[in-house]
Structure 1
Amino acid sequence: MTAPAGDGARATPARRPTIKDIARRAGVSESAVSFALNGRPGVSQTTRERVHRVAADLGWQPNSAARALSGERSGALGLVLARPAHTLGVESFFLQLVSGVQEVLAARRIALLFQVVEDTAAECELLRRWWAERRVDGVLVVDPRAQDPRPALLDSLGLPAVLVGAPAPGEDAGSLSTVWADDSAAMASVLAHLHGLGHRRIVHVAGLPGLAHTERRIASLRAEAAALGLSGVRSVTTDYSDAEGAAATRRLLDAAEPPTAIIYDNDVMAVAGVSAAAERGVALPAELSVVAWDDSALCRVTHPRLTALVRDTTAFGRLAAGELLDRLDGGPARSIQAELPHLEPRESTAPPPPAEREPAPEQGLRA
């Protein structure tokens, strides 16, 4: 008899129903239950229906480990994030991405197995273990990078996967599908906005070097600046954290010719940069304009509100998860371009001080 609550005795944990319980309740053999639940021949339709009805009444669910050992699907998909955990902070991008992924998987009653590791070597080791143990049916691969070992590894394992982001220039995704946004065009729109305001000294505080999207944004900034005849435009790389974002901002503002505009590769660094500018007594946007990559609540509650690139990251996650499920269902590998992020001008960008402004382009030159 279970002791009443508050008597100090522990309640007996609920026991998961087993095939033996179903067989006893349905009045059939355990082998008949197994045949019925796994859709195999050998039992009548009446028995099959009775077994399923009893299983539902008892709340029985299949054991995912046993199903994996039998060659069936595990009912889980994997996502590994190969970044130092301390750099994640309050960055909203991955939370929104996972939220979108989870929306799609929940509708199919599929679990998401998520893990953070230090680097791609650790990620590859984890992917091999998941494959060997049949822990996941497929994986979402984030942060494509130069000389990325993961597509070839997943090809060799035969593990279905979707690459979230375009491969690095000169590389391909192998048999993986890709879901990506055009970072180059997005960066071009940011530079066009700042140049249109008259800025000529612009610095891009980028994220981790080696990531495909980091290198693509840097290359786009360099190419667009050259086309506009801007020599005072450059990029510096960081680890995406607020600490490095603030430190990079202090170094830039302490230079002999500080920038009049800074583009940050995420919202966390942008907000940290605003704080660092305030420490130095630099007024936004009168003396410094700031743009954040990927809009968030942080950008909208900071004073002044930050000009930011806006995209539906949750929808991006839904798109990636849907494509992976399509691959599991036998669909072909595809390259799917998501909606281009659009720039939302707010109070953190304005023309620079008159002495620092870029002269209006002459007629016939690119604006």
Structure 2
Amino acid sequence: MKPIKRATIADIAARAGVSAGAVSFALNNRPGVSASTRARILEIAREMHWRPHSAARALGGARAGTIGFVLNRPARTLGTESFFGDLISGIQLGLSGSHVGMNLLVARDLQEELDTYQEWWNGHQVDGVIVIDPRTDDPRVQLLDELGMPTIVVGSRPSSEGSAPSVWIDDSEAALTVFKYLHALGHTRIAHVAGPAEFEHTGLRIAALRSFADSTGLSSVESLVTDYSAAQGADVTRTLLSRQERPTAIVFDNDVLAVAGLGVAAEMGVAVPAQLSIASFDDSAMARLVRPSLTTLTRDTVELGERAARLLLDQIGADTPLPSRKGPALTLSPRGSTCPPLR
């Protein structure tokens, strides 16, 4: 089958009966053509499904009309975490009406993510990016700052002055909300099944548990890191529940870990919540559909993505880094997986 020929500026000019220069002025919103001629050219371009060539736009200094979003997580993990689907939906919602698209890529590791940003910027493929899972001394943010690429970080606290702004949710406060609730129920042996140690929010949650333990005199608390996978969540839970003095409550960093932990409790004959309370930092449909349904921190992840996209659009049009913006509020949703411990 003969490939369909891509429409060019010359094709549009021929149909509109104007010069190629007039078409260029109209498509790039430059003076030099009347309002009626501009409207006619834009309508013909839409009918012919014309799209700008990224290299030509780069040479002309025009914007790419696209933002970038790299997900650096194992593909199997992405398939089970609803957080990412909700976040991407929110980003698309935030871009609606702007005529800006999104270039989404799943990276195998940190180096591939860094290489992608370099390639995108050198090729004028995106106008800015949204970065998630910030790290301490994050090499991604450092690179993006060196490139001068507009960047928004979805993180756990406001960015320092002059750095790429963030849309943030206080993970220390979030963790304390869960730990305080379990303590109020009477739990004194609390375990925390965390995500990767290099993530900033993992460190903040671990530090929050330690600080809370110190302030309340709790002696039996600990955090164990995982890669967010169900397999590691199950392994860690099995280790915790095999101890002679096992925890009476476990807090999981996401619903995949929590559901895996719930399965291990059933496997080992540990009743939830009578013998073990379980809570999670996410609130996906999965958390509400399992039995018992999971006590979680509820956040509007779609709104989080929407706020990040809107801040990035504002940042792309700004000359200096904008202030960080707070993300949607968190609320605790107690459900059937938690109750006071057996005495």
Where do 1:1-367 residues align within 5 Å?
Answer: 14-43=4-33, 47-166=37-156, 172=160, 174-330=162-318, 332-354=321-343
Q: Which 10-residue stretch deviates more, 14-23 or 221-230?
A: 14-23
Q: Which ranges in structure 1 are unaligned for 5 or more consecutive residues?
A: 1-9, 355-367
CA distance in 2, matches of 1:267, 1:68: 43
CA distance in 2, matches of 1:126, 1:173: 26
Q: CA deviation at 1:38?
A: 2.6
CA distance in 2, matches of 1:258, 1:127: 45
Q: Which 10-residue stretch deviates more, 177-186 or 29-38?
A: 29-38
Tell me what 1:364 maps to.
none
1:212-259 Cα deviation digits (max 9, x unpaired): 000000000110111111000110000001111011110100012111
Compute the RMSD of aligned alpha carbons. 2.0
Instruction: Indicate conservation of the 8 Å contact 1:22/1:55, yes or no.
Output: yes
Q: Which 10-residue stretch deviates more, 150-159 or 314-323?
A: 150-159
CA distance in 1, matches of 2:175, 2:36: 63
Instruction: Indicate conservation of the 8 Å contact 2:67/2:127, yes or no.
Output: yes
CA distance in 2, matches of 1:297, 1:53: 43
Distance 1:353 1:134, change over 3 A: same
Poorly superposed stretches of 4+, deviation over 6 Å:
none
CA distance in 1, matches of 2:221, 2:135: 24
Distance 1:60 1:196, change over 3 A: same
Instruction: Indicate conservation of the 8 Å contact 1:88/1:241, yes or no.
Output: no
Q: CA deviation at 1:15?
A: 3.6
Q: Which 10-residue stretch deviates more, 287-296 or 76-85?
A: 76-85
Instruction: Indicate conservation of the 8 Å contact 1:65/1:74, yes or no.
Output: no
Q: CA deviation at 1:19?
A: 1.9
Distance 1:341 1:187, change over 3 A: same
Distance 1:185 1:54, change over 3 A: closer
Identity of aligned residues (%): 51
Larger Rg: 1
CA distance in 2, matches of 1:276, 1:99: 32
Instruction: Indicate conservation of the 8 Å contact 2:252/2:281, yes or no.
Output: yes
Q: How many residues align?
A: 342
